[in-house]
Amino acid sequence: MTELSHKKTLIVIAGPTGIGKTALAIDVAKHFNTEIISADSRQFYRELKIGVASPDKSELSAVKHHFIGNLSISDEYNVSKYEQDALATIKNLFINHDTAVLVGGSGLYIDAVCKGIDELPDPDPELRESIKNLFNEEGIEALRFKLKLLDPEYYNQVDLANPKRLMRAIEVCLTTNQTFTSLRLSNPKTRDFNIVKIGLFTDRELMYDRINQRTDKMIKDGLIEEAYNLIPYKNYNALNTVGYKELFNYFDKKTTLEEAIDKIKVNTRRYAKRQLTWFRKDAKINWIDTNNIKEVYNVFNF
């Protein structure tokens, strides 16, 4: 049970993909008569719905959500901007509510709200260009290899399918001669509200089974058609995402549909494993087994 001062409280619900974060967030938000702030960096984009498991109409109508479908995939956005926007939203919510609920699986975005993002140095333009050229000429594997050499700890945490984050980490390492890990969030910012963190987990085989079933449901619900309509935008960073990139390979006749669907399942399981690795490093998270989900209310004492 968490003892808190009389300050306002942000309840954070984190965990791997497909674990049941949305359902719990709605239940908790109803319990405290408050609203939900999404920290899922792909649910920001209005063009992405099925493939990112965006809350459906009934879920959105049950509790007011913020940062769901608020951007277009062509919009420029980053985690620093999100930090500013989310904190402004939280401040507004605390005018009329004692609590707010932050939910998502993007660890970097949750950290931005809870601890802040350090101002990291910009690299020399020539260095940035050389890293871009490495990606363009040798692909994402070259970025992964380089980052693993420079900062193996961050390599094990970062979304390895996101070239933008890989390039940024490499830039910082080469500019400072320090690891990206040692520079990120070295001095957490203080917040003027309490933070209670909930992490969801379950048996690994059960989690993987849920992922497989959810992928099949996404296909049934129209993921193939959704991805097909996004082909003109497939080079946008927002679409370098599990569920879409595998189908783009199918559309390009690089794989069969069956192979693409199997690859979605494999890559989603890998992503879930990376998410858990990230969150497990946070000693402030109260872990709740999804088989005993109601135990979450034992954590609160306010």
Flag the least confident range among 124-133, 177-186, 192-201.
Answer: 177-186
Using alpha carbons, select from 34, 42, 39, 27 the residue that is nearest to residue 9: 34
Say yes or no to pLDDT of 302 above 80.
no
- Using CA atoms of 98, 102, 103, 107 in order, give the dihedral in degrees to the nearest 10: -150
Say yes or no to pLDDT of 39 above 90.
yes
The H or E element that residue 52 is part of is: none
Q: What is the pLDDT of residues 204-244, one digit of tens each?
A: 999 999 999 999 999 999 999 999 999 999 988 788 889 99
- In the chain, what are the domains? 9-117+186-298 (3.40.50.300), 125-183 (1.10.20.140)
Model confidence band, residue 177 (pLDDT cutoffs 50, 70, 90)? confident
User: How confident is the model at residue 176, as a pLDDT?
Assistant: 79
β-pair partners for 98: none
CA distance 274 to 158: 8
User: How confident is the model at residue 249, as a pLDDT?
Assistant: 96
User: How confident is the model at residue 16, as a pLDDT?
Assistant: 96
pTM of the model: 0.82
Q: Taking residues 93-108, report their average pLDDT.
A: 95
Could you tell me the sign of the dihedral formed by the alpha carbons of 166, 169, 175, 180, in that order?
negative
Q: Which residues contact 74 (CB under 8 A, 6 or more apart)?
A: 233, 236
Ramachandran category for residue 153: left, alpha or beta (phi over 0 → left; psi -120 to 50 → alpha): alpha
Flag the least confident range among 23-32, 56-65, 68-77, 219-228.
Answer: 68-77
